[in-house]
Amino acid sequence: MDKLIIRGGHSLNGVIDISGAKNAALPELCAALLTAQPMVLRNVPKLQDVSTMLKLIRNMGVSCSHEEDGTVHLNAGALNNPEAPYEMVKTMRASVLALGPLLARFGEARVSLPGGCAIGSRPVDQHIKGLQAMGAQIAVEHGYMVASLANGRTRLKGARIATDMVTVTGTENFLMAAALAEGETVLENAAQEPEIPDLAEMLIRMGAKIEGHGTSRIHIQGVESLNGCDHAVVADRIEAGTFMCAVAATGGDVVLKHARGDHMDAVIDKLRDAGASIEVGADFVRVQASGRMKAQSFRTTEYPGFPTDMQAQFMALNCIAEGTSKVTETIFENRFMHVNELVRLGANIQIDGKVSVVQGVPKLSGATVMATDLRASASLVIAGLVAEGETIVDRIYHLDRGYDRMEAKLRNVGAQIERSK
């Protein structure tokens, strides 16, 4: 297994290109299943999860290629196998996003229950209840969701869907399914993350009729068929936020090209309060930091609040900040697994249920640590960048699921980091 070797103590200076968002690219690859016409997706990041999704839809009969510049050409005209087998999706929870499009276009689907990081339960019951309201019959058998249309229907039907909780993948599944359903669908309590309106804008380019995306109530008027389109994936706000925390921790001056500051208000506000200087432009974010930051308490919540996907990275910054902070995790019950590894590097952290109390220390010391999930991996990299001596981060296949060549981007701005196979 690959690992990262980091020699800490170097400030970061230069320019980093922010890649397309994993959490937008995955549903948008699934949206290509909705049409028999060719599709072009641009700015698709080179990630393990993306490779897994491409392998999955190829297995369904979709023609697709991923070029070096991030362009993906797709054609689902010959799709003949509406199944997502466990062997292909056991490492990726986004497999559930195939369910809605397959049902909408073909009237049937067999999709494995999703895998992914072990950070907490990710129930699919909201997906099932919503699609059942649209006329689907869904049974869970032997680890699979087996779906078809009820009562001899040939299309899903529009419905009002009010989920018990805010669910990003649920909102995306319903958006894609409703695009081809008969009549109007109204999504109540819809997720508002920037990846949702990006998917909606792509569907609109394909001929879908959608209003209200980016709010908690979305209206979709179903159409009989969708056409192909050319769409660029929105920039990854979590990748950008991760590098912002890295600069705040190490010091330096970095311009993040293509970053969307308007998608990161909660993180930017906390970093400014911590003492970082941040300039937001039309197509960039510039981060400058020097000296020790001030510890910041925060609570994770749904967008536009502080994202759970940035909790571990900001905690790494708090570890070497001045003062004490409280980090409250409200989204996933097991998302403090990075704490023990940060403590190995010299951090002072106490966990009490959903709250971690972080007492900042003047310095961290390099050690061998193990990545436990995707964002935990990023927090250990940030900690390694400021730790004295050498830090080795093991099991970085988690990192490769969500960061496009992170070590190369960091090396380009002055970090001493290399991958060892």
Helix (H) or strand (E) holding 59: helix 48-59
Locus of tokens 């909201």: 126
| Long-range pairs for 108-111: beta carbons < 8 A, 24 or more residues apart | 108/82, 108/147, 108/148, 108/149, 109/82, 109/83, 109/84, 109/145, 109/146, 109/147, 110/82, 110/83, 110/84, 110/144, 110/145, 110/146, 110/147, 111/83, 111/84, 111/144, 111/145, 111/147
CA distance 203 to 184: 15
Helix (H) or strand (E) holding 247: helix 237-250
Reading phi first (left if > 0) and then psi (alpha if -120 to 50, else beta), residue 302 is in beta
Tokens of 376: 């935990």
Q: What pairing do the DSSP bridges indicate for beta strands 3-7 and 209-211?
A: unpaired
Nearest one of 164, 154, 79, 76 to 127, comparing CA atoms: 164
Of 117, 229, 245, 319, catalytic: 117
Helix (H) or strand (E) holding 382: helix 374-386
Locus of tokens 């959608």: 210
CA distance 334 to 182: 40
117 classed as catalytic = yes
Residue 222 C-alpha from the chain's centroid:
27
CA distance 43 to 323: 40
Locus of tokens 């970093």: 271
CA distance 37 to 226: 8
Q: Specify the 3-state DSSP secondary structure of 144.
A: strand
Q: Which residues are catalytic?
A: 117
